[in-house]
Amino acid sequence: MQAACNKPTASTPEQHAKYKDHLSNIIIGFSDGLTVPFALTAGLSATGSIKLVIMGGLAELFAGAISMGLGAWLAAETDRQHYEKELTRKEQEVHQMPNAEEQEIHDIFAEYGISHEASTAVVQSLRANPDMYIKFMMHFKLRLEKPGSFKSWLSALFMGLSYFIGGLIPMVPYFCFKNVYHALFASIGISVVILLTFGYVKAHITGLDTKESAFSAVQTLVVGAFAAATSYGIVRGLDRQFKMNGSV
Protein backbone atom coordinates (compact mmCIF):
# COMPACT_ATOMS: atom_id res chain seq x y z
CA MET A 1 0.00 0.00 0.00
CA GLN A 2 2.79 2.41 0.95
CA ALA A 3 4.73 1.64 -2.25
CA ALA A 4 1.63 2.28 -4.33
CA CYS A 5 1.11 5.63 -2.62
CA ASN A 6 4.72 6.69 -3.08
CA LYS A 7 4.94 5.75 -6.76
CA PRO A 8 2.95 8.71 -8.18
CA THR A 9 4.89 11.11 -5.91
CA ALA A 10 8.19 9.92 -7.39
CA SER A 11 7.07 10.68 -10.92
CA THR A 12 5.57 14.06 -10.07
CA PRO A 13 8.64 16.19 -11.04
CA GLU A 14 8.83 14.56 -14.49
CA GLN A 15 5.08 14.97 -15.03
CA HIS A 16 5.27 18.58 -13.89
CA ALA A 17 8.13 19.29 -16.32
CA LYS A 18 6.20 17.60 -19.14
CA TYR A 19 3.02 19.60 -18.54
CA LYS A 20 5.04 22.79 -18.11
CA ASP A 21 6.70 22.28 -21.50
CA HIS A 22 3.36 21.63 -23.21
CA LEU A 23 1.78 24.65 -21.52
CA SER A 24 4.72 26.80 -22.60
CA ASN A 25 4.31 25.64 -26.21
CA ILE A 26 0.59 26.42 -26.14
CA ILE A 27 1.13 29.88 -24.65
CA ILE A 28 3.88 30.80 -27.13
CA GLY A 29 1.98 29.41 -30.10
CA PHE A 30 -1.35 31.00 -29.21
CA SER A 31 0.27 34.33 -28.34
CA ASP A 32 2.14 34.53 -31.64
CA GLY A 33 -0.93 33.31 -33.49
CA LEU A 34 -3.05 36.10 -32.04
CA THR A 35 -0.49 38.78 -32.81
CA VAL A 36 1.18 38.01 -36.15
CA PRO A 37 -1.77 36.98 -38.39
CA PHE A 38 -3.93 39.68 -36.80
CA ALA A 39 -1.30 42.31 -37.57
CA LEU A 40 -0.92 41.01 -41.12
CA THR A 41 -4.65 40.93 -41.90
CA ALA A 42 -5.08 44.37 -40.35
CA GLY A 43 -2.29 45.63 -42.57
CA LEU A 44 -3.69 44.00 -45.69
CA SER A 45 -7.08 45.54 -44.92
CA ALA A 46 -5.55 48.86 -45.90
CA THR A 47 -5.61 47.67 -49.52
CA GLY A 48 -9.41 47.47 -49.43
CA SER A 49 -9.47 43.95 -50.88
CA ILE A 50 -11.09 41.34 -48.66
CA LYS A 51 -9.96 38.58 -51.02
CA LEU A 52 -6.35 39.68 -50.60
CA VAL A 53 -6.77 39.75 -46.83
CA ILE A 54 -8.15 36.20 -46.75
CA MET A 55 -5.56 34.79 -49.14
CA GLY A 56 -2.65 36.54 -47.45
CA GLY A 57 -3.93 35.72 -43.98
CA LEU A 58 -4.44 32.03 -44.72
CA ALA A 59 -1.04 31.78 -46.41
CA GLU A 60 0.65 33.28 -43.36
CA LEU A 61 -1.48 31.20 -41.01
CA PHE A 62 -0.49 27.87 -42.56
CA ALA A 63 3.14 28.89 -43.08
CA GLY A 64 3.39 30.24 -39.54
CA ALA A 65 1.81 27.16 -37.96
CA ILE A 66 4.15 24.85 -39.87
CA SER A 67 7.17 27.00 -39.05
CA MET A 68 6.30 27.21 -35.35
CA GLY A 69 5.63 23.47 -35.20
CA LEU A 70 8.93 22.63 -36.88
CA GLY A 71 10.75 25.02 -34.57
CA ALA A 72 9.26 23.33 -31.51
CA TRP A 73 10.12 19.90 -32.93
CA LEU A 74 13.73 20.88 -33.60
CA ALA A 75 14.09 22.38 -30.12
CA ALA A 76 12.69 19.23 -28.47
CA GLU A 77 14.89 17.00 -30.63
CA THR A 78 17.94 19.04 -29.63
CA ASP A 79 17.03 18.60 -25.96
CA ARG A 80 16.60 14.85 -26.47
CA GLN A 81 19.94 14.48 -28.24
CA HIS A 82 21.65 16.54 -25.55
CA TYR A 83 20.11 14.37 -22.82
CA GLU A 84 21.18 11.13 -24.53
CA LYS A 85 24.71 12.43 -25.04
CA GLU A 86 25.02 13.46 -21.39
CA LEU A 87 23.48 10.16 -20.29
CA THR A 88 26.09 8.17 -22.23
CA ARG A 89 28.88 10.33 -20.84
CA LYS A 90 27.62 9.98 -17.27
CA GLU A 91 27.29 6.18 -17.60
CA GLN A 92 30.91 6.00 -18.73
CA GLU A 93 32.07 8.20 -15.87
CA VAL A 94 30.20 6.10 -13.31
CA HIS A 95 31.95 2.94 -14.52
CA GLN A 96 35.37 4.48 -15.14
CA MET A 97 35.56 6.90 -12.20
CA PRO A 98 33.27 5.52 -9.47
CA ASN A 99 35.09 7.26 -6.62
CA ALA A 100 34.92 10.66 -8.29
CA GLU A 101 31.21 10.19 -9.01
CA GLU A 102 30.52 9.21 -5.41
CA GLN A 103 32.32 12.33 -4.25
CA GLU A 104 30.10 14.39 -6.53
CA ILE A 105 27.06 12.99 -4.74
CA HIS A 106 28.58 13.89 -1.38
CA ASP A 107 29.24 17.39 -2.73
CA ILE A 108 25.62 17.71 -3.83
CA PHE A 109 24.36 16.87 -0.34
CA ALA A 110 27.01 19.13 1.20
CA GLU A 111 25.40 22.08 -0.58
CA TYR A 112 22.33 21.42 1.58
CA GLY A 113 24.34 21.15 4.80
CA ILE A 114 24.33 17.33 4.95
CA SER A 115 27.57 15.84 6.26
CA HIS A 116 29.70 13.25 4.47
CA GLU A 117 28.81 10.65 7.08
CA ALA A 118 25.08 11.26 6.75
CA SER A 119 25.14 11.03 2.95
CA THR A 120 27.23 7.85 2.89
CA ALA A 121 24.18 5.61 3.39
CA VAL A 122 22.43 7.32 0.48
CA VAL A 123 25.47 6.84 -1.76
CA GLN A 124 25.63 3.16 -0.88
CA SER A 125 21.93 2.71 -1.63
CA LEU A 126 22.33 4.40 -5.00
CA ARG A 127 25.35 2.26 -5.84
CA ALA A 128 23.21 -0.83 -5.27
CA ASN A 129 20.78 0.40 -7.94
CA PRO A 130 22.72 1.49 -11.06
CA ASP A 131 19.64 2.84 -12.86
CA MET A 132 18.64 5.07 -9.97
CA TYR A 133 22.28 6.07 -9.53
CA ILE A 134 22.42 7.40 -13.08
CA LYS A 135 18.99 9.00 -12.78
CA PHE A 136 20.05 10.77 -9.58
CA MET A 137 23.17 12.17 -11.24
CA MET A 138 21.28 13.30 -14.32
CA HIS A 139 18.65 15.07 -12.24
CA PHE A 140 20.61 16.58 -9.37
CA LYS A 141 24.05 17.01 -10.92
CA LEU A 142 23.22 17.94 -14.52
CA ARG A 143 19.67 19.23 -13.89
CA LEU A 144 18.33 17.24 -16.85
CA GLU A 145 15.00 15.44 -17.07
CA LYS A 146 14.47 12.51 -19.42
CA PRO A 147 12.39 13.68 -22.40
CA GLY A 148 9.17 11.80 -23.08
CA SER A 149 9.00 9.34 -25.96
CA PHE A 150 6.71 11.58 -28.02
CA LYS A 151 7.82 14.96 -26.66
CA SER A 152 9.16 16.22 -30.00
CA TRP A 153 5.95 15.42 -31.87
CA LEU A 154 3.69 16.66 -29.09
CA SER A 155 5.67 19.91 -28.87
CA ALA A 156 5.26 20.42 -32.60
CA LEU A 157 1.53 19.60 -32.42
CA PHE A 158 0.77 21.89 -29.48
CA MET A 159 2.85 24.76 -30.87
CA GLY A 160 1.56 24.56 -34.43
CA LEU A 161 -2.08 23.92 -33.53
CA SER A 162 -2.23 26.68 -30.91
CA TYR A 163 -0.68 29.11 -33.41
CA PHE A 164 -3.25 28.15 -36.04
CA ILE A 165 -6.19 28.51 -33.65
CA GLY A 166 -4.89 31.80 -32.28
CA GLY A 167 -4.40 33.18 -35.77
CA LEU A 168 -7.71 31.93 -37.13
CA ILE A 169 -9.83 33.74 -34.54
CA PRO A 170 -9.11 37.31 -35.81
CA MET A 171 -9.70 36.14 -39.39
CA VAL A 172 -13.25 34.86 -38.84
CA PRO A 173 -14.93 38.24 -39.60
CA TYR A 174 -13.29 38.36 -43.02
CA PHE A 175 -15.23 35.22 -43.96
CA CYS A 176 -18.50 36.73 -42.70
CA PHE A 177 -18.42 40.31 -44.05
CA LYS A 178 -18.25 41.49 -47.64
CA ASN A 179 -16.93 44.92 -46.68
CA VAL A 180 -13.27 44.73 -45.67
CA TYR A 181 -13.50 47.61 -43.20
CA HIS A 182 -16.54 46.14 -41.46
CA ALA A 183 -14.57 42.91 -41.14
CA LEU A 184 -11.54 44.84 -39.86
CA PHE A 185 -13.51 46.53 -37.07
CA ALA A 186 -15.14 43.24 -36.11
CA SER A 187 -11.72 41.58 -36.10
CA ILE A 188 -10.35 44.34 -33.89
CA GLY A 189 -13.21 43.92 -31.42
CA ILE A 190 -12.78 40.16 -31.24
CA SER A 191 -9.01 40.46 -30.94
CA VAL A 192 -9.24 42.98 -28.10
CA VAL A 193 -11.42 40.61 -26.08
CA ILE A 194 -9.23 37.58 -26.86
CA LEU A 195 -5.96 39.42 -26.15
CA LEU A 196 -7.22 40.70 -22.80
CA THR A 197 -8.62 37.30 -21.82
CA PHE A 198 -5.53 35.44 -22.95
CA GLY A 199 -3.18 37.85 -21.19
CA TYR A 200 -5.10 37.51 -17.94
CA VAL A 201 -5.48 33.73 -18.05
CA LYS A 202 -1.83 33.25 -19.06
CA ALA A 203 -0.65 35.21 -16.04
CA HIS A 204 -3.20 33.67 -13.68
CA ILE A 205 -2.24 30.06 -14.42
CA THR A 206 1.43 30.89 -13.85
CA GLY A 207 0.59 31.91 -10.28
CA LEU A 208 0.32 35.71 -10.50
CA ASP A 209 -2.27 37.53 -8.42
CA THR A 210 -5.28 39.41 -9.79
CA LYS A 211 -3.51 42.76 -10.09
CA GLU A 212 -0.53 41.27 -11.90
CA SER A 213 -2.81 39.24 -14.16
CA ALA A 214 -4.74 42.39 -15.08
CA PHE A 215 -1.47 44.14 -15.92
CA SER A 216 -0.47 41.18 -18.08
CA ALA A 217 -3.81 41.42 -19.90
CA VAL A 218 -3.27 45.10 -20.70
CA GLN A 219 0.33 44.44 -21.69
CA THR A 220 -0.72 41.69 -24.10
CA LEU A 221 -3.35 43.98 -25.61
CA VAL A 222 -0.85 46.82 -26.07
CA VAL A 223 1.65 44.56 -27.83
CA GLY A 224 -1.01 43.16 -30.17
CA ALA A 225 -2.49 46.59 -30.88
CA PHE A 226 0.93 48.10 -31.57
CA ALA A 227 1.81 45.31 -34.00
CA ALA A 228 -1.52 45.63 -35.82
CA ALA A 229 -1.41 49.44 -35.98
CA THR A 230 2.17 49.42 -37.25
CA SER A 231 1.39 46.83 -39.90
CA TYR A 232 -1.74 48.69 -41.01
CA GLY A 233 0.13 51.99 -41.25
CA ILE A 234 3.00 50.52 -43.26
CA VAL A 235 0.78 48.73 -45.77
CA ARG A 236 -1.51 51.75 -46.16
CA GLY A 237 1.49 54.00 -46.72
CA LEU A 238 2.99 51.65 -49.29
CA ASP A 239 -0.35 51.26 -51.03
CA ARG A 240 -0.71 55.02 -51.38
CA GLN A 241 2.86 55.35 -52.61
CA PHE A 242 2.35 52.70 -55.28
CA LYS A 243 -0.86 54.34 -56.43
CA MET A 244 0.84 57.74 -56.65
CA ASN A 245 3.64 56.24 -58.74
CA GLY A 246 1.19 54.41 -60.96
CA SER A 247 2.62 50.99 -59.98
CA VAL A 248 -0.78 49.62 -59.03
Residue ranges of the domains in the chain?
16-241
- Which of 243, 237, 242, 229 has the alpha carbon at shortest distance from 40? 229
Quick one: angle between helices 2-44 and 180-205, nearest 10?
Answer: 150
The one-letter amino acid code at 181 reads Y
pLDDT digits (tens, 9 = 90+) for 104-139: 888 888 888 888 888 888 888 888 888 888 888 888
Distances (CA, A) of 136 to 47, 54, 131, 141: 60, 53, 9, 8
Residue 5, pLDDT > 60, answer no
Residue 6, pLDDT > 70, answer no
| b/e burial code for range 16-26 (CB count within 10 A of at least 16 → b) | eebeebbeebb
pLDDT digits (tens, 9 = 90+) for 64-75: 999 999 999 999
Q: How confident is the model at residue 18 (pLDDT cuts 50, 70, 90)?
A: low
Residue 54, pLDDT > 60, answer yes
Q: What is the pTM assigned to this prediction?
A: 0.76
- Quote the CA–CA distance of 215 and 129 in Å, as a whole number: 50
User: Phi and psi at residue 179, in whole multiples of 5°?
Assistant: -90, 125
Comparing 58-72, 80-94, 137-151, 169-183, the range with the smallest average pLDDT is: 137-151
User: What is the rounded average pLDDT for all residues in the chain?
Assistant: 84
- Quote the CA–CA distance of 248 and 231 in Å, as a whole number: 19
Distances (CA, A) of 178 to 37, 42, 173: 19, 15, 9
Asked if 248 and 239 touch (Cβ cutoff 8 Å), the reply is yes
